[in-house]
Amino acid sequence: MKNFTYYVPTKIHFGENQVQHLPEEVASVGKRVLLVYGGGSIKKLGLYDKVYNLLADCTIVECNGIEPNPRIASVRKGVELCKTHNIDVVLAVGGGSVLDASKAIAAGACSDEDAWELILDAKKIKAALPIISVLTLSATGSEMDQTAVITNPETKSKKGFANDLLFPKVSICDPTYTYTVNAFQSASGVADIMSHIMETFFHHEAGCDISDQVAIDLLKTCVKYGPVLLDEPNHYEARANIMWASTWAINGFLVSGPGKNWSCHAMQHILSAYYDVTHGATLALLEPAWLSYILNDTNKDRIARFAREVFNVEEENTYKCAQKGIQKLYEFFTVTMKLPKNFAELGIPNDANFKELAEECVKSRPGGKIGGYETLEANDVFEIYKRCF
């Protein structure tokens, strides 16, 4: 078990109608609110009106139209609004994209630097406005972490950044707000959650019993309740368990001990910088392709454990067991959860320049390679992409 620092100060109000806490939580930090949201879904949900009713005493300035892969232009617009209107608190109402944009806005609002500079070097973030969120989508876990991902179309880059000042002060997680999330987005969310867990579960560190076992539990929770989201979108327990799993997949608990060994997200980010593909659905293809590519004598025990404990694979031969588990994972995503079966279905043409994408994927990383669970060079990334064709 590696040494670690665990620090997650976000307060979570979880459950139906917990939005009732919004007035007291906002009042504790100010009266001038930047309301950040995406398209019209929060209006259809009735959440937009509810927020206005609950915050009748506040001045609300709107920053809407945040994109699914939020862009730096939206962040800059939000920063400008904060400075012009002397905003006290950023209120993110939406999913991970709205939350990520809000984090960048909260940092940019307290700095003279351009927001993209802060994203490129998050140590430059010395202050941030408090962030409060009302979550409407279970996927990224951004409601309880200090990280965000912003896309810059000019430089074709999708950049993750982190700073402890960016933990939401409060997140309101009401599973009923996710009832209207459609089957594809629900399934992509589950794939995103599971990928966060798998990126951590596959490590080489001994003695991380608690993290390992909780990772398995969260994966089993996804496998149990994920399909329910498609069949019974208004199933409270299913939405609630997926929402809570989503939060714990990536809030710092699972990496406490194993450390961070991520691989697939790097391969995903470069794809979505070039193609407007859904994050989770892309990971649903990359995760099994990656596992099948890296499977070897050293890691076969761990992948077989995943197969046995998450998918109940019964197979004595460790190598075969691991292979069967990977196949089960692919089938879970593409058959059970009805996600795209290959890059073409996802929206990435088969004649895309995967060699160049693979090279670009690794070039900005330390030593020009992905140093995750198993080290990946450009050629490895290319081979993994090929398995997703």
Span from 88-96, 148-156, 208-216, 322-330 in contact with its own copies (CB under 8 A): 208-216
Distance separating alpha carbons of residues 219 and 17, to the nearest angstrom: 27
11 sits near its own copies (criterion: CB under 8 A): yes
Hey, which residues does 335 pair with through a beta bridge? none
Closest by CA position to 215, among listed 232, 235, 204, 201 = 201
**Between 7 and 367, whose beta carbon lies closer to its own copies?**
7
18 scored as a contact of its own copies (CB under 8 A): yes
User: Residue 179, interface with its own copies (CB under 8 A)?
Assistant: no
Structure tokens at 243: 């929402």
Q: Is 232 in the site for its own copies (CB under 8 A)?
A: no
**Contact with its own copies (CB under 8 A) among 74, 142, 256, 323:** 256
CA distance 263 to 370: 6
Comparison of 109 and 240: residue with beta carbon closer to its own copies: 240
Query: Is residue 248 close enough to count as binding its own copies by CB under 8 A?
Result: yes
Tokens representing 54 are 């609950």
Nearer to its own copies, 4 or 293 (CB): 4
The sign one gets for the Cα dihedral 360, 362, 364, 368 is negative
Closest CA to 233 of 181, 281, 198, 268: 181
- Which range touches its own copies (CB under 8 A), out of 8-16, 73-81, 100-108, 114-122? 8-16
At closest approach, how far in Å is the CB of 209 from its own copies? 5
Among 31, 39, 65, 210, binds its own copies (CB under 8 A): 210
* Secondary structure (3-state) at 29: coil
Part in contact with its own copies (CB under 8 A); list of ranges 32-40, 134-142, 189-197, 218-226: 218-226
**Nearest alpha carbon to residue 75 among 49, 48, 97:** 97
- CB nearer its own copies, residue 117 or residue 209: 209
Q: Is there binding between residue 225 and its own copies (CB under 8 A)?
A: yes
Give the Cα separation of 13 and 26 in Å (integer).
13
Distance between CA atoms of residues 377 and 187, nearest Å? 30
Token digits for 195? 């990928």
Chain residues that interact with its own copies, rule: CB under 8 A: 1-18, 21, 206-207, 209-210, 213-214, 217-218, 220-221, 224-225, 236-237, 240-241, 244-245, 248, 256-257
